[in-house]
């Protein structure tokens, strides 16, 4: 059974994951209208992934005797400036999500809720991957700068990452 404190903290994380999905969705739309299908595909895929993270939390809270709540969300931005700015914001967002997951782990240890601690280890590992991927992409886009030919090739590279990631999920 979840403590009230743990349940509240997990419900706050449910909102963060939902907002993450919305941020990725807004970034996908931003990229798509500019003709960057690879970046758009990558962002749509990650929006779905964040939604799955949210659903996993909802199921966990409810299975442990709590009540997962669905709250209102902050509206994501519609414009992101350059792709460099967008991926910088994405990386910063993933760092913020990692901190939130780490805070949950801390609460679970304080409360000696080892079932929740065990459950959260998947999120810890996932955030390591998310941050590393965002950092790698940001590094690449920083190398490209504003070169339009480079952005075209980058868009194709990101599309390949998306196809490879979706293949790994189904294996």
CB atoms under 10 Å from CB of 143, counted, come to 10
Domain range spanning residue 16?
Answer: 4-170
Tens digits of residue pLDDT in 93-111: 999 999 999 999 999 999 9
CATH number of the domain within which 27 lies? 1.20.1260.10
How many domains, in total, are found in the chain? 1
Q: What is the pTM of this model?
A: 0.90
146: exposed, middle or buried (C-beta count within 10 Å: 0-12, 13-18, 19+)?
exposed
Does 50 belong to an annotated binding site?
yes
- The reply, when asked if residue 93 is annotated as ligand binding, is no
φ, ψ of residue 94 to 5 degrees: the values are -65, -35
- Separation of alpha carbons 67 and 11, rounded Å: 8
DSSP-derived secondary structure letter, 67: -
32 labelled ligand-binding: no
pLDDT over threshold 70, residue 148: yes
- 43 and 31 Cβ atoms separated by less than 8 Å: yes
């Amino acid at each position: 059974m979840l403590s009230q404190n743990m349940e509240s903290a997990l419900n706050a994380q449910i909102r963060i994951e939902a907002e993450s999905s919305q941020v990725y969705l807004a970034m996908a739309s931003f990229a798509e209208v500019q003709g960057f299908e690879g970046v758009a595909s990558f962002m749509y895929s990650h929006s779905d992934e964040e939604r799955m993270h949210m659903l996993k939390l909802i199921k966990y809270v409810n299975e442990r005797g709590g009540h997962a709540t669905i709250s209102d969300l902050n509206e994501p931005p519609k414009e992101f400036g350059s792709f460099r700015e967008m991926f910088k914001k994405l990386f910063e967002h993933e760092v913020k999500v990692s901190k939130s997951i780490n805070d949950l782990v801390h609460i679970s240890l304080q409360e000696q809720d080892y079932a929740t601690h065990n459950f959260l280890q998947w999120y810890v590992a996932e955030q390591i991957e998310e941050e590393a991927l965002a950092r790698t992409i940001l590094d690449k886009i920083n190398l490209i700068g504003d070169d339009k030919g480079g952005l075209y090739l980058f868009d194709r590279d990101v599309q390949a990452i998306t196809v490879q990631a979706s293949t790994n999920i189904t294996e």
